[in-house]
Amino acid sequence: MKNILNNSQVIHLPIQPKPDILKLLLRARQMLSHALEHAGQNSDFDNMIAILGLDSTVEYILRSISFHLDLESITGDSFDIIELSSLAGSINRALQEHAKEQLPYLGEIKLLRQTRNLVQHGAVAPQADLERFSKIVERFFNKILVKIFGFSINELKTSVIIENKLVKNYLQESEDFLDKKEWLKSIIAARNAFENEYFNKIKSTEISIALYPALVRVKEQDDITDYAWYIIKEELELSYLGINTPQHRRFKEYLRHIPKDSGYTIMQRSWNRQDAVFCYNYVANTLLHWQSGEKEKLYKLEFGEQYLFKETIGGISLSDGAEPGCIYFLKENEILNLIYADKERTKRLEKLSKNKFYIYRTIRYKQGKKESDIKEEIMMKGFYKFPIVHEPERWGVIIWYSIKK
């Protein structure tokens, strides 16, 4: 890819977009997906929303081109134009003059705006032209991406700009399954991407950390109130993350229908494209929202000396296949130890017996050298696990024990 030369009137296409422009293109693709969702329905209202969405998508793409190529600086013209036909014409002239290129489907774009105006004012019903306009906008978008940005619409994926590697891989799986029309597999992969990032966001928050001891207490009562507390915890987390919305509840409704060993609602029809597109779009938009909202830390923590702790209970490691959560110091030498453990670690810890004594061993390393080795006799008072992530399977595990005096 070549770059635009400073102070030059010549644009060498295609030009690889920077991350901020890539986000605009992803937003345009989401707008197009939303319009096509409505186009797949049969109601007059959905058809109207689809035409308005297709028109808005084209306008958004045109403005993205202007930003990407910095056409205002190159041409000296203003592209702050409200009317789509005029905007398309101005950008087309700039491309012809400075890049020896032109916009595809220019006549159809202008006709789309005319149809959109008629639909908006209730003058026509768009059913007859909806399928044709849907195909034109899809083709327009793809040709623009190839000619101006250097890649096809199939390569424009939200996963490209997701930073967390694990989350990125799952979202990419969801996109791939969408392309293959494997709707349920796409939804499951989208769920995995969502759950892993959700866990990253809440695992150290005060809301989650503070409520785990309460969940343990009500589980000890062995009645239905523990479920109520679990729902309260989830509702607070959703509000904290800004996703306590009807869209999230719809997403969860889909997740409840995913087949598993037990405890799921059977889908009374076949899974379809609309199901998969909704789940993918919801997850992709949520991940982008969370990522863009990340704030830089006030300062970077500086550690003078590096310490490493290896802990075991009855010879079972609390470090391998797990990460620390929180330690709660209760009365009379009682401790709750929260860790986030994988499937194998959870199974091994689950075998520890209540009211039985074990050795709790802590080995501390300083700068890579063993500094201390402490062994304490403890009595197990309880083991509790809470589902966190389906894949890779991860549990919130709380070990309740007392230290023998």
Instruction: Indicate the pLDDT class of residue 7, thresholds 50, 70 and 90.
Output: very low
- Which residue spans within 119-179 are E strands per DSSP? none
Report the distance separating Cα 288 and Cα 31, nearest Å: 15
Residue 80: the pLDDT is 77
Digit-coded pLDDT (tens) for 114-145: 888 888 776 566 676 888 999 999 999 999 99
Report the distance separating Cα 400 and Cα 339, nearest Å: 12
Between 300 and 174, residue with greater pLDDT: 174
Query: Does residue 284 register a pLDDT over 60?
Result: yes
- What tokens appear for 67 in the block? 């930003």
Report the distance separating Cα 174 and Cα 274, nearest Å: 14
Report the distance separating Cα 96 and Cα 109, nearest Å: 17
Report the distance separating Cα 341 and Cα 18, nearest Å: 38
Task: List Cβ neighbours of 341 (8 Å cut-off, separation of 6 or more).
Answer: 321, 322, 349, 394, 395, 397
Digit-coded pLDDT (tens) for 69-79: 999 888 888 87
Digit-coded pLDDT (tens) for 22-79: 888 988 988 898 888 888 787 888 888 999 999 999 999 999 999 999 998 888 888 7
Is-contact 285 30, C-beta < 8 A? yes
Model confidence, pTM: 0.72
Mean pLDDT of the chain: 88
Report the distance separating Cα 380 and Cα 334, nearest Å: 10
Residue 16: the pLDDT is 85
Element (H, E) at 357: strand 357-366
Report the distance separating Cα 358 and Cα 272, nearest Å: 52
Residue 122: the pLDDT is 67
Mean pLDDT for the stretch of residues 212-237: 84
